[in-house]
Structure 1
Amino acid sequence: MKLYHHPLSGHSHRVHLFLSLVGVQHELVEVDLVNGSHKKPEFLALNRFGQVPVLADGGTIISDSNAILVYVAKKLKLTDWLPESPAGAAEVQKWLSVAAGQIAYGPAAARLNTVFNASFRADEVIARAHDILAVIEGVLAERTFITGSTPTIADVALYSYVARAPEGNVDLQGYTKVRAWLKRIEALSGFVEFRKTPVGIAD
């Protein structure tokens, strides 16, 4: 498999992390976002939205980080990471939607301001980040991982931007359950770190 990515993209990191956790050999191809390589015809042929990550698996091309997580779990029949039961699959999908919604427009957006000089209103996106972190804190008061006693792709989808939330000036100190969950993920065999940047607040 070949993963087109950028090392400061949390969406890219979640895919890199999952491939590493499940032991999939893959080639990393860095896309030069600064110079607009993601908007050039050759990349748009892979993903017409012009976004990383993109996974190339032979002749199969998958874009969208959460879609890639589902693809890999399904292809490899990893039912521990993506349950087959209707209730289990629905629970994972709920959190993939959170990753694409509240996480993307909360801690991820806050980090975009500081790392990539985006123009989101800092007070709004930081407030959204704390809203979803409070929900996750409550869930993790009852569970070891986000959907139960073992990790799933839901945990992978949430991890990167929560772990680097302090880079967007989102303080994690008040979220003891969230911080313990981050450490549990970081202790998993095959874990790969999301590259840090020297912005935001100390975590």
Structure 2
Amino acid sequence: MSDPIRIHSFPISGHAHRVVLFASLAGIDHEVITVDLPNGAHKTPAFLALNPNGQVPVIEDGETVISDSNAILVYLARKYAPAYIPTDPVGEAEVQKFLTLAAGELAFGPAAARLINVFNAPFNMEVCQATAARVLGKLDAHLDGRDFLVGDKPSIADVAIYSYTAHAPEGNVSLEPYPNVRRLLANIEALDGFVPMPVTKAGLSA
């Protein structure tokens, strides 16, 4: 029996949460290792040997070490949970489109607005919230008549967009105008193995 995958994580990192969430949803044997970011554990030589960028998440799968949350999702799906990534060219292209959205507009919109409130990040809140409205509007339109982003079942596309979308209110970004997005989040939360990301104090007071 192989050892569990080691996921180097931080509880309120959406990038790390999407990896932990996927491992749990897909039933992949894993161990979560909390990296003490506030005290600089991600800048130690031991951690930088795993990821020279000094960021979570990072996974160790035996001798294989992978960083970048979306790259990790693709790797885990390909190796352990192929039902979560289409094999047909069109379906795979659709998944890739949403992985790009998660790394782009979602990161610069809802995720960045949250970083301002939660971590005092030096971003422009007005710009972040405008970007959030744009990307959430596109997601809501795409989800009209759909239960999931790609095809008729969950994929790593849904996992990639879940964490920062669900926690958009922590950046004072309301999800009320986006009923289809809220329905998607509820569909993901209803899946066996779902694990939530902790709500921060900023989110509770927003």
Q: Deviations over 1:1-59 (max 9, x none)?
A: 10000000000000000000011111111111111111111101000111000000010
Aligned to 1:142: 145
Aligned to 2:112: 109
- Hey, what's the Cα distance between the residues in 2 that align with 1:111 and 1:8? 11
CA RMSD of aligned residues (A): 1.2
Q: CA deviation at 1:180?
A: 1.0
- Hey, what's the Cα distance between the residues in 1 that align with 2:66 and 2:82? 20
Equivalent pairs, count: 202
Aligned to 1:60: 64
Say whether residues 1:31 and 2:35 are aligned partners: yes
SS in 1 for 2:137: helix
- Hey, what's the Cα distance between the residues in 2 that align with 1:29 and 1:201? 26
Correspondence for 2:55 among 51, 55, 68: 51
Q: CA deviation at 1:201?
A: 6.7
Q: CA deviation at 1:80?
A: 2.2
Q: CA deviation at 1:68?
A: 0.5
- Hey, what's the Cα distance between the residues in 1 that align with 2:133 and 2:120? 21
- Hey, what's the Cα distance between the residues in 2 that align with 1:165 and 1:88? 27
Aligned to 1:165: 168
More helix by share: 2
Q: CA deviation at 1:79?
A: 3.1
Q: Is the 8 A contact 1:82 1:89 kept in 2?
A: yes
Superposed, which structure 2 residues align to 1:1-203 within 5 Å? 1-76=5-80, 78-200=81-203
Letter in 2 for 1:13: H
Letter in 1 for 2:74: V
- Hey, what's the Cα distance between the residues in 1 that align with 2:205 and 2:52? 37
- Hey, what's the Cα distance between the residues in 1 that align with 2:84 and 2:26? 9
Q: Report the identity percentage.
A: 54
Query: What's the TM-score once normalised by structure 1's chain length?
Result: 0.97
Structure 2: gaps of 5 or more residues? none
Q: Deviations over 1:136-187 (max 9, x none)?
A: 0001113110112111000000000000000000011111111111100000
SS in 1 for 2:195: coil
Q: Is the 8 A contact 2:147 2:183 kept in 1?
A: no
Query: What's the TM-score once normalised by structure 2's chain length?
Result: 0.95
SS in 2 for 1:2: strand
Q: Residues 69 and 49 of structure 1: is their aligned pair in 2 closer, same or farther, counting only changes over 3 Å?
A: same
Q: Is the 8 A contact 1:171 1:201 kept in 2?
A: no
Q: Is the 8 A contact 2:14 2:197 kept in 1?
A: yes
Q: Residues 143 and 202 of structure 1: is their aligned pair in 2 closer, same or farther, counting only changes over 3 Å?
A: farther
